[in-house]
Structure 1
Amino acid sequence: MTGRRLAGRRLVGRGRAVTAVVATLAVAAIAVVAGLGTGSFQASPAEVASALLGGGDARTSVVVVGLRVPRVIAALAIGAALGLAGAVFQTLARNPLASPDIVGFSAGSATGALISLTLIAPTASPAAGAWMGGLLTVVVVMLIARSVGVSRERTILAGIALSILFAAVNDYLLTRAPLEIARNADQWLHGSLAATAMSDLGPLLTSLGILSVVLLLAHRDLRAFELGDDVARSLGVRTGRSRLLLVVVAALLTGTATAIAGPIGFIALAAPQLARRAMGSSGIPLVGSALTGATVLLVADVIAQRALAPLQIPVGLLTGVVGGAYLFWIVARTRR
């Protein structure tokens, strides 16, 4: 009888997970259609399809293929990268507040990218700077946490302190940069997909693909960390090496997203928890986190473009407002 109940619960759980994935994909599809066809230049689904297939008039092709397709694809890829990074951090720390936003990795990536933009190569891609900034933040956070005794709480506090420090450094860099570069960098710091071009998609998708494969290969170790370090060690996981690899991958995912769109808050924090609740999973699902992050960011970007048209809000501002409300909700729920 007990075996039948367990089997029934597993079937129910799988059905719930499949339903959640299908619903998420449906919302993402609607957002893709809205992102490609709506705005100051309206295009019907038939005109969008014709432009994507190489037909249609020149104006529709320029707007849909040249401007909107890169932005939609970038939103999906960046949201997926942030969702994966948040899932890794929260699994390792076993804390729903452990995300690149909270522990300073997003701010560190932004600082590295700003140094690249303002001091080294203003016309070059800031991707390398964002990666280096994220990795340097990883090293500093781990060194601080280890020097005072490693704990999840101390690691998060060290990250928050670094976020404040990096924010001050970012402001200083903006005051030293030429006016035009400072203006562009300031818009980028708010998290925006407005300047996304087709040339950005190659490095973005390549990095996301490689890092996702590494996460897939390390999936067993990540699942073991959900049970605690001692249990993971008893299962044969080399916890020190595996933890370092997973944190580096998550930092690189954060740096990849930050290099293209700037620091975008809330996605890495909330996507893993939303996916876990929707799918009824005991742990944080990687695929669900990626899908949820991609969908949430795309929906947020479409709203940011259309809510106050013709004025476009940087998507990072919108996700920041939603993220603040989400944190208040977590605090209220924890108190209850």
Structure 2
Amino acid sequence: MLGLGLLGLCYGASWSTPDEVFGALSGTGPSVVISDWRLPRVLAGLVFGAALGVAGALFQNLTRNPLGSPDVIGLDAGAYTGALIALTVLSGTSAQLATGSVVGGLVVAGVIYLLSFDRGFSGLRLVVIGIAVNAMVTAINSWIVLRADLEVAIAAVGWSAGSLAGIGWEDLGIPFTVIAVLLALIASRAHAMHQAALDDAVAVTTGVALNRLRLLMVLVGVGCTATVTAVAGPIAFIALAAPQIGRRLAGAAGIPLLPAALTGAVLLQGADLLAQMLLAPVALPVGVVSTAIGGCYLIWLLTKEVGRA
């Protein structure tokens, strides 16, 4: 993370040396480009990547399935629907985008949870229903964009790719605060979550209130996903890949939150740097790069799961 962060602060239309970066950060050599343009983007990649990694870990623990991530089961699409409504029906202010994203994600999560709850909770059923709901919500999003005014539609389509470009300090205060509160909240229940990941019976005998815990996991996962979507657009596949990569790096039996958060931060920072470098001086949206990398990971994951079956 530190290495990618330093590279992100050095790289741009003009290269800055590490000495110039450290001077800008310490205040001995002020630089508007580094402190006001590049630093917010680097920090956004760090915090948003960590939030997406935690969201993916929560839903993969909840479903006990490596495919159970917000972007696969439709929560990203639901948050995007809420943001689209804010853009097309309302005036599209930052507060409306944030509120619309959270409400859209919660509505889709509620629908998926209710449809998958049949005489008990089933993680596999939730994933399958989530994939179907994701397809339907994506179709609704396309219809909303096609019905919107041309300027709004162009902005919505560009924003839907997911991008950290143009993010400034004024965009980060509230999202960083919300993510910090959500991460602190779920960290306080991390032990109970890992107990529940072992087995429902084990969790109940150790005093874990499963229904309340699952509701909290859903709320925190949706909150992290929707907060990132409201600022940067839907960034796909970070939440899918980060928990599994983090689990393997940590050698853990379950899906721990800290490795997922750190891996998500590295993946999003790395994807954003690749997005800036691949077709320089033209910068790609980070969602394009994360989707390309995540698509390869998803193929590998599906092949592995089919091989097990």
Q: Which amino acid is 1:128 matched to?
A: T
Contact 1:77-1:204 at 8 Å conserved across structures: no
Q: Tell me the residue number matched to 1:295.
A: 266
Tell me which of 185, 188, 191 is aligned to 1:220. Answer: 191
Q: Tell me the residue number matched to 2:151.
A: 180
Q: How does 1:224-303 map to 2 (within 5 A)?
A: 224-303=195-274
Q: Tell me the residue number matched to 1:156.
A: 127
Tell me which of 49, 52, 65 is aligned to 2:22. Answer: 49
Q: Tell me the residue number matched to 1:130.
A: 101
Q: How does 1:179-198 map to 2 (within 5 A)?
A: 179-198=150-169
Q: Tell me the residue number matched to 1:37.
A: 10
| RMSD of aligned Cα (Å) | 1.5
Tell me which of 101, 106, 114 is aligned to 2:84. Answer: 114
Alpha-carbon distance between aligned partners in 2 of 1:333 and 1:106, rounded to the nearest angstrom: 25
Any idea what the Cα deviations from partners look like across 1:286-317, whole Å, max 9, x if unmatched? Answer: 11110110011001101101111011111111
Q: Which amino acid is 2:33 matched to?
A: V
| Aligned-pair CA distance for 1:147 | 5.1
Alpha-carbon distance between aligned partners in 2 of 1:147 and 1:119, rounded to the nearest angstrom: 36
**Structure with larger Rg:** 1
Alpha-carbon distance between aligned partners in 2 of 1:261 and 1:252, rounded to the nearest angstrom: 14
Tell me which of 128, 139, 144 is aligned to 2:115. Answer: 144
Alpha-carbon distance between aligned partners in 1 of 2:166 and 2:143, rounded to the nearest angstrom: 24
SS of 2:62's equivalent?
A: helix
Structure 1 residues 148, 120: CA separation in 2 closer, same or farther (over 3 Å shift)? farther
Q: How does 1:73-84 map to 2 (within 5 A)?
A: 73-84=43-54
Larger deviation, residues 94-103 vs 160-169:
160-169
Any idea what the Cα deviations from partners look like across 1:308-329, whole Å, max 9, x if unmatched? Answer: 1011111111111111111111
SS of 2:94's equivalent?
A: coil
Q: Tell me the residue number matched to 2:179.
A: 208
Q: Which amino acid is 1:327 matched to?
A: L
Tell me the TM-score normalized by structure 2. Answer: 0.95
Q: Which amino acid is 1:40 matched to?
A: A
Contact 1:300-1:315 at 8 Å conserved across structures: yes
Tell me which of 90, 101, 113 is aligned to 2:71. Answer: 101
Q: Percent identity?
A: 44
Any idea what the Cα deviations from partners look like across 1:166-205, whole Å, max 9, x if unmatched? Answer: 1112112222323222222211101111131211111121
Alpha-carbon distance between aligned partners in 2 of 1:180 and 1:30, rounded to the nearest angstrom: 39
Q: How does 1:51-66 map to 2 (within 5 A)?
A: 51-56=24-29, 61-66=31-36
Alpha-carbon distance between aligned partners in 2 of 1:298 and 1:54, rounded to the nearest angstrom: 24
Contact 2:62-2:123 at 8 Å conserved across structures: no
Q: Which amino acid is 1:121 matched to?
A: S
* Structure 1 residue ranges without an equivalent (≥5): 1-27
Contact 1:122-1:181 at 8 Å conserved across structures: no
Larger deviation, residues 81-90 vs 31-40:
31-40
Contact 2:60-2:69 at 8 Å conserved across structures: yes
Alpha-carbon distance between aligned partners in 2 of 1:223 and 1:153, rounded to the nearest angstrom: 18
Larger deviation, residues 271-280 vs 119-128:
119-128
| Aligned-pair CA distance for 1:55 | 4.1
Larger deviation, residues 112-121 vs 68-77:
112-121
Alpha-carbon distance between aligned partners in 2 of 1:217 and 1:286, rounded to the nearest angstrom: 11
**Given the alignment of the two structures, is residue 68 of structure 1 paired with residue 38 of structure 2, yes or no?**
yes
Any idea what the Cα deviations from partners look like across 1:6-40, whole Å, max 9, x if unmatched? Answer: xxxxxxxxxxxxxxxxxxxxxx1111111111121
Tell me the TM-score normalized by structure 1. Answer: 0.87
SS of 2:255's equivalent?
A: coil
How many positions carry a matched residue from both structures?
306
